[in-house]
Structure 1
Amino acid sequence: MSFLSYILPIIKIYLVGLKVLLVQMFSRAFRLPAMPRQDGRVAIVTGGARGIGYEVVRHMAGLGARVIIGGRDEQEGLTAVRRIREEYREAKVEFEQLDLASLQSVRRFVQRFKGRGLPLNILINNAGVMLVPEGRTEDGFEQHLGVNYLGHLLLTWLLLDTLKDCGKRSSCSRVVNVSSSAHRAGRIRLDDLNGSRCYSAHGAYCQSKLALLLFSSRLHDELQDGGFAVTSCAVDPGMVDTALYRHLWSPLRLAQSAVARLLFRVGASSSIFSLHLFIMVARGHIMVELPYAGSTC
């Protein structure tokens, strides 16, 4: 049973990955519609200094939004800010320290943000870890669960009152959680959330993304039932060639690098993933089918 608990998530996640890859291979090119301006709106993007998060920040700043990057690496964050300001001279983008592996850091981030008296229209929970070795967060949680789910759960909860205050029927506030197709292979073990009995990095990653998806759905239902002008969505961007894959088993990592050059959405194409995420946020779509994966609420 212990062996099965370890091996089954590995088999499932690679089968899911193969399916997503095949869909991407045979998908038609996606054309973006015109994007509305976002002047006067404020957004927070976790993990916005690299990958999909960076592209989201870049395009939102280009459309006039004020964007705050929440990240752990200050140097990386400041470099991202500089690059965006070089591209868009009037860009209102900044970096704030945020370590999702520390609930205290999440609270400090929110305290600093609220102390500035800024509105908040968009929260994009994008940061995450994937297939990292077994370890614990500062608060003792398994890393995938702690960073991908619990850190974002607390961040959203603490910012929810500000999101509600800024939401209007004509322009709802948004919470967008970046999940993954891997949620399909996830199983939440309430009696062993930390995977102490038989740790599987694959199983832990899938569990965290499933938890994030379920949270998104539940939050959306509660917001709508309460009559608040705030929506909550979970988005699967499909396979993108990012640093998340660095913890793959070495032979698979080599294969992934080769396949990525041919099939994964890289460079300018990753902007398409990010922009389509943003279209959903800006236009208020709740159910949006991404070209290579999907989103749900």
Structure 2
Amino acid sequence: MRPDDHAAQTFTRFVALGDSQTEGIGDPDAAGGHVGWADRLAALLAGVNPRLGYANLAVRGRRAAQIRDEQLAPALALAPDLAAVVAGMNDLIRPRFDQEAVLAEIEAMFEALTAAGAWVITFTFPDIGGVAPIVRPLSARVRAMNARIRELARRPGVVLVDFEPVTAATDRRVWADDRLHLNPLGHDLVARAVAETLGLPGADGTWRSPMPPSPRTAAEAMVAELRWAALHMVPWVARRVRGISSGNGVTAKRPLLAPMVSVAD
């Protein structure tokens, strides 16, 4: 389900909830901050309706329960007519993953926001095993989670962008070196995907097109895997063991509605 063309062109209050992907990690700006797909989408929405106000409450490292506890009430207070809820990946990658509990948190956010009159954008997850083969054992968990997200997204007022079958979403070239976050190309892909799903003028389905074949050899791919494990996977595991979150001390980058005119390349 998606808004009709009139609704899509008259959104005036867009509020994004989520974790690091929605905050924009992996897509740096020139001032030491982060852009991200939500900022990029807000710029596209503002191009259609200059009266748009945009807030981004997402904070890196947050799990689904934290997103609901910390971000839902502030989001509702902003009275959005469009909201983004992307949550669950920080839960899914942990050994003690309770799928039903995570889905209950997501469903509660969908219910509260749609009941308040907002359209809600949500996503299925790309197969992270295709991005980092060492975590391929989690692929079945991702597919199962996606199947349930599709069910939740049947709620009236929820708009689903289904990334799981899109090969470009797992192409290494749209992911940052840490393989946990999208790079600028990936955040741009997501913004274009949401714009097309919402039916924004000028948006099209090119985001689904596979990227050209990579010239990387098998030996180069193996070296890249070893380098990623040493520089990113081992430190990530060490932080989890010590109970350290990348979001400790971090607050929302755009807690209030404000204009979003453009995004620097």
Task: Report the TM-score when normalising by structure 2.
Answer: 0.50
Task: Report the TM-score when normalising by structure 1.
Answer: 0.45
Relative CO higher for 1 or 2, CA cutoff 8 Å, sep ≥ 6?
Answer: 2
